[in-house]
Chains A and B, each alone.
Chain A
Amino acid sequence: MTVISTHKDVEALRLTFVAEFEAGVDRVWQVWQDPRQLERWWGPPTWPSTFDRHEFVVGGQSRYYMTGPEGQKARGWWSITAIEAPHRLEFDDGFAGDDGEPVDPADATHTVVTLEAAGPGTRMTTVTTFVSPQQLERMLAMGMEEGMRLAMGQIDDVLASASR
């Protein structure tokens, strides 16, 4: 995995993230399409995600939760707004209540995923736009900050053992 670039647009509250993978476009599309694969990478390390609904069609709904280290659950939902297999996916992602249903359907982030062939591999671009800084704050507060620190620590461990 190579991270090609990231772009943070502070004024527009938008993050563009570009990564390349050593696999074909169809294969990378599957990690989004198959809920069993998706839940292996969507949540932070200490907050694994479970997708108990994942309708991969326009207008399709997903329901997921992330389980924290003390068993606490952070729930979210997706609504797929555009899909062109295997190159383009757009969806809204928001917070859900204890019943798993959206708290406020208008309070969602919007993500556009683009997959394109790059040599033998695939370039994946994701553009996520937030509607308010509070939304971004809450997204990060869903256990993600702690998760990120641990993820970075794991990479450091790998690098340290490789240099030994």
Chain B
Amino acid sequence: MVVDEGTADRIFHALADSTRRDILARVIRAEQSVSALARHYPMSLAAVQKHVVVLERAALVVKQRRGREQVVHADIAALRRAAQLLDRYEQLWRHRAHGIAQILAEDRILAEDRPGPNTEKGTNP
């Protein structure tokens, strides 16, 4: 597994909050300072800083000090890892649907073999 349990836990916890999702969406578009981010939300700079720390622990964003400012930018690779888990589960369902389709196809083959009032045997190309 690429994602260990602790990492996956932190990613999903971080993304469970709408403010943090909004912060992430903004820094994916362009890196921003914490103070610039704080202007978008009706909460204190300290509260926004706490949200950034949660995103940082989940490795979804990286924070760097530049002079007097703290600049936040997104780590797309971590997001991709979270989505990978669901990708794999989707593959399982694709396989299951394929299996169901095979069972249903067998019905049709049996129906063709069985002579019925509207079945003309041996006319298939």
Question: 8 Å CB contacts to B: which residues of A17-66?
Answer: 17, 19, 21-23, 27-28, 31, 37, 40-42, 44-45
In the complex, the chain A residue whose C-beta lies closest to that of B93 is A17
Interchain CB contact (< 8 A) of A23 among B1, B92, B95, B107: B107
Q: Is A118 an interface residue (CB 8 A)?
A: no
User: By the criterion CB–CB under 8 Å, are B97 and A137 in contact?
Assistant: no
Across the A-B interface, how many residue pairs have beta carbons closer than 8 Å?
114
The answer to whether A11 touches B86 (Cβ under 8 A) is no
Q: DSSP majority for the A interface?
A: mixed
Contact A11 B16 (CB under 8 A): yes
Q: Is the CB of B12 within 8 A of A44?
A: no
Distance between Cα atoms of A8 and B91 in the complex (Å): 12
* Given A8-B87, A17-B93, A148-B91, A137:B1 Cβ within 8 A: yes
List of B residues within 8 angstroms of A67 by Cβ: none
Which applies to chain B's interface (DSSP): helix, strand, loop or mixed? helix
Closest A residue to B12 using CB positions: A133
The interface-forming segment of A76-84, A87-95, A97-105, A138-146 is A138-146
CB within 8 Å of A: which B61-95 residues: 79, 82-83, 85-95
Q: A22-B108, A141-B1 are in contact. List 19 more A-B contacts (CB 8 A).
A: A8-B83, A8-B90, A10-B15, A10-B83, A11-B15, A13-B12, A15-B90, A19-B97, A21-B104, A22-B105, A23-B107, A40-B99, A41-B100, A41-B102, A44-B92, A44-B95, A137-B85, A140-B88, A148-B95
B residues lining the A interface (CB < 8 Å): 1, 3, 5, 8-9, 11-12, 15-16, 21, 79, 82-83, 85-105, 107-108
